[in-house]
Amino acid sequence: MKKTKRTKLEAAGWAVGSVQEFLGLSDAEAALIEMKLGLSRSLRARRQKCGLSQVQLAERLQSSQSRVAKMEAGDPSVSMDLLVNSLLLLGATAMDLAKAIRGGEKGKGRYAA
C-alpha cells in the first residue's frame, strides 16, 4: 500500500495492518495459507497453459468441475495433497511446486478496518 493512501486511511480513522494481524494468525498458520494459495494459483495457471477447462481437469482427476473451482480458489476444504497431486498430474515438477510455494510468500495481504 502506498504511504499516501495509508496516511489518508489512518487520518480517516481506519486501522491499517496485515491480514495475519486482523485474523490473529500465528506465523505458521499465515505461512501455510500463503503456500496453499500459491499452489492454487499455480494450478489455475498450469491448467490454462495446458489448454484445459475446469471440466476437463475434473475428468482427469475423477472429480467435479466445482471441486476444481474450489481448488483454484484456495477453498479451505481443499487439501494441499489434492493440490500437489493435481499439479503433478498436469506435469509439474518438484521445482515447479517449490516455485509455487515460494511465490505464495509474496502475497502478504493488508487490510483497512
d(CA 38, CA 79): 13
Pick the CATH number of 31-107 from 1.20.120.10, 1.10.260.40, 3.40.50.1400, 3.30.450.20: 1.10.260.40
Over the stretch 18-71, which tens digit does the pLDDT of each residue have? 888 888 899 999 999 999 999 999 999 999 999 999 999 999 999 999 999 999
Backbone phi and psi for residue 110, each to the nearest 5 degrees, phi listed first? -120, 155
Over the stretch 82-111, which tens digit does the pLDDT of each residue have? 999 999 999 999 999 999 999 754 444 433
Residue with cell 495457471: 45
pLDDT of 75 above 90: yes
Beta carbons of 71 and 56 less than 8 angstroms apart: no
Beta carbons of 15 and 113 less than 8 angstroms apart: yes
State the pLDDT at residue 113.
36
| Cα within 13 Å of Cα(81), Cβ side | 1
State the pLDDT at residue 17.
81
Determine what percent of the chain is predicted with pLDDT higher than 90: 69
State the pLDDT at residue 93.
96
Helix ranges (H only) for the chain are 3-11, 19-23, 27-49, 54-61, 65-73, 80-89, 94-103
Q: What is the mean pLDDT of the chain?
A: 88
Beta carbons of 103 and 41 less than 8 angstroms apart: yes
Provide the residue ranges of all domains of the chain, joining segments of one domain with +: 31-107
Q: Which neighbouring-strand residues pair with 112?
A: 16
State the pLDDT at residue 40.
97
Residue with cell 494459483: 41
State the pLDDT at residue 83.
97
